[in-house]
Amino acid sequence: MSFTKQQIISSIRETGFVPLLSHPDPQVAAEAMKAAYRGGVRVFEYTNRQPNSFEVFKSLLTVAESLPGLMLGIGTIMDKETSLKYISAGAHFIIAPILNPEMAPVCHEYNKLWIPGCATLTEIVSARNLGAEVIKIFPGSVLGPGFVSAIMPVVPHLQLMITGGVEPTEKSLAAWFHAGATCVGLGSQLFTKEILENQDWSRLEQTVRYVLDVIKTIK
């Protein structure tokens, strides 16, 4: 199953939420992804931080085929070679924690959504000039909602994904969306050590539903 860049962007805008998971066990990762899907998520990032990330990601792509409408991308991609590797495997989109200009032409060539990570206004404008339609603000814990609200009047119409420092609470979510975020990414705050160790998929699904409900109310 394939998706256009605009389909993915539309889904990101609609839900306002992208779960970010990194786990070495493909079965655990699959169950976590399915729980998030049952909770209402339709855009999901597996994060490239494990020695066997490529193998786990390929197994998740197979699982995603049985989940209609699920868009599965890869995060923590740093260069064009790794981008091409995951695009060839079937990644629906590419997310980076940095702005590496060499990744842009690769993603554009294969018509894949590229979401680079930026931490300054200069990087944000550079990313937009390179064709990034959604830009990741990272680390959110350092930059804070005030950074987003300050830059939005300067560079309007940005579509920003905030990761790092986002919590699954009404207070945290409201601060980011009121500042101007298009969506947020939740990783360890969502896939807690306790949930993963206990494989408490019901609790994960409930948390996802709560986050989506809060975002819908805020937006």
111, exposed or middle or buried, with CB in 10 Å at 0-12, 13-18, 19+? exposed
- The whole-number pLDDT of residue 115 equals 98
pLDDT over 90, % of the chain: 98
100, exposed or middle or buried, with CB in 10 Å at 0-12, 13-18, 19+? middle
Return the DSSP state at 71. E
Q: Where are the domains of the chain?
A: 5-218
- The whole-number pLDDT of residue 64 equals 98
Tokens of 26: 């493909």
Confidence of residue 42 (pLDDT cuts 50, 70, 90): very high
Mean pLDDT of 105-121: 98
pLDDT over 70, % of the chain: 100
Instruction: Work out the angle between the directed axes of helices 53-64 and 26-39 (0-180°, nearest 10).
Output: 40
DSSP H stretches of helix in 3-52: 5-15, 26-39
Residue 219 pLDDT greater than 90, yes or no: no
Mean pLDDT of 11-23: 98
Domain covering 5-218, topology:
TIM Barrel (3.20.20)
114 with 147: CB under 8 angstroms?
Answer: no
One-character DSSP codes across 84-130:
HHHHHHT-SEEE-SS--TTHHHHHHHTT-EEE-EE-SHHHHHHHHHT
- The whole-number pLDDT of residue 46 equals 98
50 with 56: CB under 8 angstroms?
Answer: yes
